[in-house]
């Protein structure tokens, strides 16, 4: 029997009342990630490589989980202004799969409204799509979802914008470690329609 291997992955999206360029200038600046991180774990960041930002640029962050603090090194994997910014975070490897992929994908709907998708994927952790392994992937993705939701609200506040409607959450269950983002036929979506009403 062939067992499908999948990777924990989640995308949280929001409709933000701000220009795409304005939002990209913030999400693509790791020096501002401490104020954005919904987990509260990113304490400070610094560049490891000279500016300007490009694919391969590196930065280091000081992370804090409870009482435990540790350094994390990240390297930019995708830099496509003003639409996509994806980085690999971990012990210092410059390419996947050894690390955790994070990123933002921005799609302008008009001059003042942008669909912002915040993405996470664990490419080093292939899990068989059978119990109990799939429940591990679900727990990892749900944990990160809880951290990513506040990130989008913080991003909107940082530019004096609002989020229209509900957040959209997609558990991608990628079958390819190189996909980022990887929503597709295997995606399972919660709140799949972003309703056009002011956020509470």
Cβ–Cβ under 8 Å, residues 144 and 167: no
pLDDT tens, per residue, the chain with 200 residues: 566 767 778 899 999 999 999 999 999 999 999 999 878 778 899 999 999 999 999 999 998 878 888 889 999 999 999 999 999 988 776 776 678 899 999 999 999 999 999 998 877 666 767 777 767 767 777 777 888 999 999 999 999 999 999 999 987 655 554 544 443 334 444 443 333 333 33
pLDDT of residue 144: 79
pLDDT of residue 198: 33
pLDDT of residue 10: 87
Residue 159 located in a structural domain: yes
pLDDT of residue 199: 33
Residue 198 located in a structural domain: no
Question: Running DSSP on this structure, what letter comes out for residue 111?
Answer: T
Residue 195 located in a structural domain: no
Q: For 65, how many CA atoms within 13 A lie in the half-sphere containing its CB?
A: 4
Structure tokens at 27: 């999400």
CATH number at residue 149: 3.30.530.20
Number of domains in the chain: 1
Cβ–Cβ under 8 Å, residues 10 and 120: yes
Is 0.85 topped by the overall pTM? no
Cβ–Cβ under 8 Å, residues 43 and 61: yes
Structure tokens at 157: 């506040």
pLDDT of residue 100: 85
* Complete DSSP assignment for 90-107: ESS-SSTTSSEEEEEEEE
Residue 197 located in a structural domain: no
| Structural domain of 108 | 5-190
């Amino acid at each position: 029997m062939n067992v499908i291997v999948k990777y924990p992955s989640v995308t949280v999206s929001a409709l933000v009342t701000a220009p795409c360029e304005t939002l990209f200038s913030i999400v693509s600046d790791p020096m501002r990630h401490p104020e954005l991180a919904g987990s509260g774990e990113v304490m400070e960041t610094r560049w490891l490589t000279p500016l300007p930002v490009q694919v391969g640029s590196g930065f280091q962050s000081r992370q804090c989980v409870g009482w435990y603090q540790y350094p994390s090194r990240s390297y930019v994997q995708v830099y496509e202004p003003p639409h996509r910014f994806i980085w690999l975070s971990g012990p210092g490897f410059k390419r996947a799969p050894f690390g955790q992929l994070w990123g933002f994908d921005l799609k302008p709907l008009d001059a003042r409204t942008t669909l912002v998708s915040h993405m996470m994927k664990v490419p080093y952790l292939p899990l068989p799509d059978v119990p109990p392994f799939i429940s591990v992937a679900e727990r990892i993705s749900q944990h990160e979802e809880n951290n990513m939701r506040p990130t989008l609200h913080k991003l909107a506040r940082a530019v004096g914008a609002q989020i229209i409607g509900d957040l959209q959450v997609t558990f991608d269950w990628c079958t390819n470690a190189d996909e980022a983002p990887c929503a597709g036929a295997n995606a399972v979506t919660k709140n799949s329609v972003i309703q056009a009403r002011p956020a509470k």
